[in-house]
């Protein structure tokens, strides 16, 4: 048995979304505030913690419609049982709900006998809708109406603009414990025949049949064991039972549940219990002897007197007391020469925090697994009703909140194996484990198989609706075995995976751009520096191979690339840009993706608006002509750069006259000083083509050392792209 997918509706930012759950592990990725935590909380709340719901867990603009419905109820006069049956259908479309679709084989039918949808169903997909809804809609209305009418009467006596509680249904349910008192989670069986196309990224959850009634018992009792590690979000989390605890505290909890000889003792525990009993008696004798003088002093005060009980001293020694202190867990620093005796050790809290947390999280997973498998004293072999749930769902929110970068990779590589390290588990599919992790760490994303990634894509808000999100199943993006997909996976595995978390992506050509573009952003486009940008270094001849990924992610992308003019008549030889020669671009991104044009004549005069893709999320910028004055002849001329370096020189030609540097900087200065207007463009072009490997990177490093980046003018084509990106990001923040 396993969870195949979930459909979440009306829960915070997740208005409607489907999330496929991997057979072993699923990783939620996406930019900040995109709904990853909402998805985790939806699973946790509906399966284990129904009392955690608040009015803020409803998709916010749904309250507008809920308030409209409640106002309608106030004005409608006839309200019989049939009336409320009709109204619940309208309310249900606005309520938080999660559909869990299980894949059940024919040997597991005894687990789901209470959930079978029809007599014809034998095995396969089985869907249950969990909906947070009024216990009784009519009673909810009557309680609301009583308080609403009372407030309305008082408001009528007020001389000011005071509005007393409750002014609407939202404020009524937001008050104290109204929501938990009047709402509950109800379960409904869904129809597997209406599940739709499982390959679609845009599937809409099915409507319930008008004849649907909630099932009597909790749907997933005895089916799913849920274990959770929440992210530590602040000091207010101190009472959170799911937060990560120190290892010593976990050891005490594990011991008391699984190992303590006092709990359901067996024959194997007798030696330990005898030792404890002997130690207790010996300690009691010593206590009585030690306290005897003090007790005699009390006698001098006539205590105990007539009718008062005598004082005696009795100890209670428990094994748990021995590890109930902060230094119970020690890390060995040095052993004797035989390696048997510990000479030096340090308590847990003196060890490195990242290492402490890694060990603590791993032990937490061990505890989750052993609780599920009823290890040690947790098991009661005489209990015929003991339940072993066939599915263990483990939810870990942002493990990077506890772990340093290096140990994040260790943890995600080992977590699932730890959860399966039991004789009844391993490869045995009698009991299944599914691990779901939400993360904002590119280190974790880098380590996992990309088909396990689920990308949370932010949808832009409008004037009528708050921002929401949808989920992209990247197994459909990375699941094909074609050459382009293989390239995308291999390339991303060699770079950082921070594009999965970025507000926008900037593709750049090479190392020089990687060093200088961030300076252009910080000094000339400072609004961009407030956003989370991912700079991806990839040549224009390959960037188009990430097209399907970018389109699936739907993230704003700026491609800063080189125009790469070639002569198709001379075996695609690189040339200087010239009109009327039949030249083409050798850049595959420009010719095959955006703008999808080969002709240099067209590209050299192309309007900026035509360098944007049809979805308005991708813009390509390449070198464009600019007017400069050549030093030797004091004449103005139009030049056309073919790379970042010559474009930077042309834009800052007066500045380069004054720089004293080496390598390319020295060559450029000499050309600026000596070349004529006729040869200037070709001399710059040849200097770059004949440069040694590494000269371009050295050029950028020399500039960083010699020049104040604030004084460098941004090359015109890059400025065009950064301005577009700045405007698009600004627009997305206006609602």
What is the residue-wise DSSP string for 663-719?
HHHHHHHHHHHH--TTTHHHHHHHHHHTPPTTHHHHHHHHHHHHS-GGGSPPPHHHH
Q: What is the pLDDT of residue 623?
A: 96
Please give the residue that has the higher pLDDT: either 479 or 240: 479
Residues in a beta bridge with 687: none
Please give the residue that has the higher pLDDT: either 95 or 318: 95
Tens of pLDDT, residues 581-623: 999 999 999 999 999 999 999 999 999 999 999 999 999 999 9
Under the banding of pLDDT at 50, 70 and 90, the label for residue 710 is confident
Question: What is the value of pTM for the model shown?
Answer: 0.83
Q: What is the mean pLDDT of residues 539-559?
A: 92
Q: What is the pLDDT of residue 504?
A: 95
CA–CA distances in Å: residue 307 to residues 14, 292, 343, 534: 71, 21, 55, 82
Domain residue ranges in the chain: 247-361, 502-564+605-732
pLDDT of 243 over the 90 cut:
no
pLDDT of 236 over the 50 cut:
no
Q: Which of these ranges, 176-190, 281-295, 658-672, has the smallest mean pLDDT?
A: 281-295
Contact 323, 248 (CB under 8 A): yes
What is d(CA 699, CA 704) in angstroms, rounded to the nearest whole number? 9
Determine how β-strand 504-508 pairs with β-strand 533-537: parallel
Percentage of the residues of the chain whose pLDDT score is greater than 70: 81
3-state secondary structure of 38: helix
Q: What is the pLDDT of residue 316?
A: 59
Length of the chain: 735
Tell me, what DSSP letter sits at residue 58?
A: B
Q: What is the mean pLDDT of residues 28-37?
A: 93
What is d(CA 553, CA 458) in angstroms, rounded to the nearest whole number? 9
Q: Tell me how many degrees the CA angle 87-212-10 measures, rounded to the nearest 5.
A: 60
Can you state the angle between helices 663-674 and 644-651, rounded to 10 degrees?
50
Q: What is the pLDDT of residue 1?
A: 94
* H or E element at residue 364: helix 353-372
Q: What is the mean pLDDT of residues 429-440?
A: 95
Q: What is the pLDDT of residue 475?
A: 86
What is d(CA 44, CA 105) in angstroms, rounded to the nearest whole number? 25
3-state secondary structure of 477: helix
What is the residue-wise DSSP string for 531-577?
S-EEEEE--HHHHGGGHHHHHHHT-EEEEE----EEEGGGTTEE---
Q: Which of these ranges, 100-114, 268-282, 302-316, 467-481, has the smallest mean pLDDT?
A: 302-316
Tens of pLDDT, residues 138-180: 999 999 999 999 988 887 666 666 677 899 999 999 987 899 9
Q: Which of these ranges, 54-58, 305-309, 406-410, has the smallest mean pLDDT?
A: 305-309
Q: What is the pLDDT of residue 239?
A: 45
Tell me, what DSSP letter sits at residue 269?
A: G
CA–CA distances in Å: residue 376 to residues 269, 373, 380: 12, 9, 9
* Cis, bond preceding 595 (omega within 30 deg of 0): yes
3-state secondary structure 88-142: HHHHHCCCCEEEEEEEECHHHHHHCCCCCCCCCCCCEEEEEEEEEEECCHHHHHH
Residues in a beta bridge with 507: 536, 559
How large is the C-alpha radius of gyration of the chain?
35
Q: What is the pLDDT of residue 449?
A: 93
What is d(CA 656, CA 660) in angstroms, rounded to the nearest whole number? 8
pLDDT of 369 over the 60 cut:
yes
Q: Which residues have a Cβ under 8 Å from the Cβ of 365 and sit 6 or more positions away?
A: 394, 415, 418, 419
pLDDT of 292 over the 70 cut:
no
Please give the residue that has the higher pLDDT: either 675 or 134: 134
What is d(CA 449, CA 499) in angstroms, rounded to the nearest whole number? 16
CA atoms within a 13 Å half-sphere pointing along the CA-CB vector of 87 = 24
What is the residue-wise DSSP string for 485-504?
HHHHHHHHHTS--GGGG-SE
3-state secondary structure 258-293: HHCCCCCCCHHHHHHHHHHHHHHHHHHHHHHHHHHH
Tens of pLDDT, residues 382-427: 555 667 899 999 999 999 887 888 889 989 999 999 999 999 999 8
* Cis, bond preceding 98 (omega within 30 deg of 0): no
What is d(CA 467, CA 487) in angstroms, rounded to the nearest whole number? 34
Q: Which of these ranges, 25-29, 121-125, 490-494, 640-644, has the smallest mean pLDDT?
A: 490-494
Q: What is the pLDDT of residue 234?
A: 42
Q: What is the mean pLDDT of residues 635-644?
A: 90
Tens of pLDDT, residues 67-126: 999 999 999 988 888 899 899 999 999 999 999 999 999 999 999 999 999 888 989 999
3-state secondary structure of 206: coil
What is d(CA 129, CA 123) in angstroms, rounded to the nearest whole number? 18
Q: What is the pLDDT of residue 238?
A: 42
Tens of pLDDT, residues 250-268: 656 665 665 555 556 666 6
Q: Tell me how many degrees the CA angle 431-433-436 measures, rounded to the nearest 5.
A: 160
Can you state the angle between helices 81-92 and 137-157, rounded to 10 degrees?
90
Percentage of the residues of the chain whose pLDDT score is greater than 90: 50
Tens of pLDDT, residues 488-537: 888 988 887 899 999 999 999 988 899 999 999 999 999 998 899 999 99
Q: What is the pLDDT of residue 346?
A: 47
Can you state the angle between helices 353-372 and 247-254, rounded to 10 degrees?
20
CA–CA distances in Å: residue 228 to residues 242, 364, 439: 6, 10, 14
Burial of 374 (0-12, 13-18, 19+ CB in 10 A): middle
CA–CA distances in Å: residue 389 to residues 372, 396, 625: 7, 19, 69
What is the residue-wise DSSP string for 594-638?
SS---BHHHHHT--GGGGB-TTSSEEEE----EEEEETTTTEEEE
Q: What is the pLDDT of residue 244?
A: 60
Contact 447, 492 (CB under 8 A): no
In the chain, what is the greatest distance between 2 CA atoms, to the nearest angstrom?
A: 123
3-state secondary structure of 339: coil
Closest CA to 691 of 713, 666, 674: 666
Mean pLDDT score of the chain: 84
Q: What is the pLDDT of residue 235?
A: 37
Contact 394, 447 (CB under 8 A): no
What is d(CA 101, CA 43) in angstroms, rounded to the nearest whole number? 12
Closest CA to 729 of 555, 549, 517: 555
Q: Which residues have a Cβ under 8 Å from the Cβ of 558 and sit 6 or more positions away?
A: 504, 505, 506, 507, 618, 619, 621, 721, 722, 724, 725
Q: Which of these ranges, 35-39, 340-344, 626-630, 641-645, has the smallest mean pLDDT?
A: 340-344
């Amino acid at each position: 048995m396993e969870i195949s997918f979930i459909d979440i509706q009306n829960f915070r930012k997740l208005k409607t979304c489907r999330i496929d759950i991997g057979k072993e592990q699923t990783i939620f990725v996406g930019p900040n505030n995109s709904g990853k935590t909402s998805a985790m909380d939806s699973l946790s709340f509906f399966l284990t913690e129904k009392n955690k719901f608040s009015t803020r867990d409803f998709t916010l603009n749904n309250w507008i419609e809920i308030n409209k419905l409640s106002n309608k109820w106030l004005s409608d006069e006839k309200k019989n049982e049939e009336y409320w049956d009709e109204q619940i259908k309208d309310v249900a479309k606005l309520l938080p709900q999660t559909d869990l679709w299980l894949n059940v084989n024919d040997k597991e039918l005894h687990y789901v006998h209470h959930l079978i949808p029809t007599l014809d169903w034998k095995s396969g997909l089985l869907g249950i809708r969990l909906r947070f809804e009024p216990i009784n809609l009519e009673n909810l209305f009557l309680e609301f109406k009583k308080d609403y009418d009372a407030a309305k009467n008082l408001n009528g006596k007020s001389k000011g603009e005071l509005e007393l509680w409750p002014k609407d249904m939202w404020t009524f349910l937001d008050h104290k414990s109204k929501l938990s008192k009047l709402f509950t989670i109800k379960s409904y069986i869904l129809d597997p025949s209406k599940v739709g196309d499982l390959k679609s990224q845009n599937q809409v959850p099915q409507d319930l049949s008008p004849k649907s009634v909630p099932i009597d018992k909790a749907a997933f009792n005895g089916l799913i064991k849920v274990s959770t590690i929440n992210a530590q979000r602040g000091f207010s989390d101190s009472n959170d039972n799911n937060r990560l605890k120190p290892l010593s505290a976990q050891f005490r909890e594990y011991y008391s549940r699984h190992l303590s000889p006092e709990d359901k003792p067996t024959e194997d525990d007798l030696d330990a219990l005898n030792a404890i009993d002997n130690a207790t008696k010996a300690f009691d004798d010593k206590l009585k002897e030690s306290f005897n003088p003090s007790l005699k002093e009390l006698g001098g005060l006539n205590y105990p007197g007539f009718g008062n009980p005598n004082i005696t001293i009795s100890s209670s020694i428990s094994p748990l007391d021995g590890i109930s202190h902060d230094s119970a867990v020690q890390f060995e620093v040095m052993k004797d020469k035989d390696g048997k005796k510990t000479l030096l050790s340090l308590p847990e809290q003196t060890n490195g925090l990242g290492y402490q947390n890694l060990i603590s999280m791993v032990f937490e997973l061990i505890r989750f697994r052993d609780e599920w498998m009823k290890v040690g004293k947790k098991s009661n072999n005489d209990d015929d009703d003991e339940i072993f749930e066939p599915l263990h769902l483990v939810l870990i929110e942002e493990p990077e909140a506890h772990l340093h970068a290096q140990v994040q990779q260790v943890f995600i590589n080992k977590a699932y194996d730890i959860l399966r390290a039991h004789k009844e588990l391993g490869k045995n599919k009698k009991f299944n484990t599914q691990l779901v992790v939400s993360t904002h760490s590119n280190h974790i994303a880098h380590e996992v198989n990309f088909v396990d990634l689920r990308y949370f894509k932010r949808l832009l808000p409008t004037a009528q609706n708050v921002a929401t999100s949808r989920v992209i199943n990247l197994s459909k993006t990375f699941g094909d075995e074609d050459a382009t997909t293989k390239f995308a996976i291999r390339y991303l595995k060699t770079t950082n995976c921070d594009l999965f978390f970025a507000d926008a992506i900037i593709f750049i050509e090479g190392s020089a751009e990687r060093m200088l573009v961030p300076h252009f952003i910080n000094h000339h486009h400072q609004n961009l520096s407030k956003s989370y940008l991912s700079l991806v270094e990839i040549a224009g001849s390959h960037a188009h191979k990430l097209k399907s990924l970018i389109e699936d992610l739907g993230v704003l992308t700026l491609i800063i690339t080189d125009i790469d003019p070639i002569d198709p008549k001379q075996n695609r030889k690189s040339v200087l840009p010239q009109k009327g020669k039949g030249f083409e671009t050798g850049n595959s991104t420009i010719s095959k993706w955006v703008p999808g044009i080969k002709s240099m004549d067209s590209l050299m005069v192309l309007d900026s608006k035509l360098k944007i893709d049809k979805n308005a999320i991708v813009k390509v910028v390449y070198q464009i002509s600019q007017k400069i004055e050549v030093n030797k002849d004091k004449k103005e001329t139009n030049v056309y750069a073919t790379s970042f370096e010559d474009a930077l020189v042309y834009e800052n030609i007066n500045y380069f006259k004054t720089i004293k540097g080496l390598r390319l900087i020295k060559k450029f200065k000499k050309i600026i000083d000596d070349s004529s207007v006729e040869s200037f463009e070709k001399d710059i072009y040849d200097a770059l083509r004949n440069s040694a490997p590494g000269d371009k990177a050295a050029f950028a490093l020399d500039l960083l050392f010699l020049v104040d980046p604030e004084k460098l003018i941004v090359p015109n084509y890059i400025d065009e792209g950064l301005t577009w990106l700045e405007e698009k990001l600004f627009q997305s923040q206006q609602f």
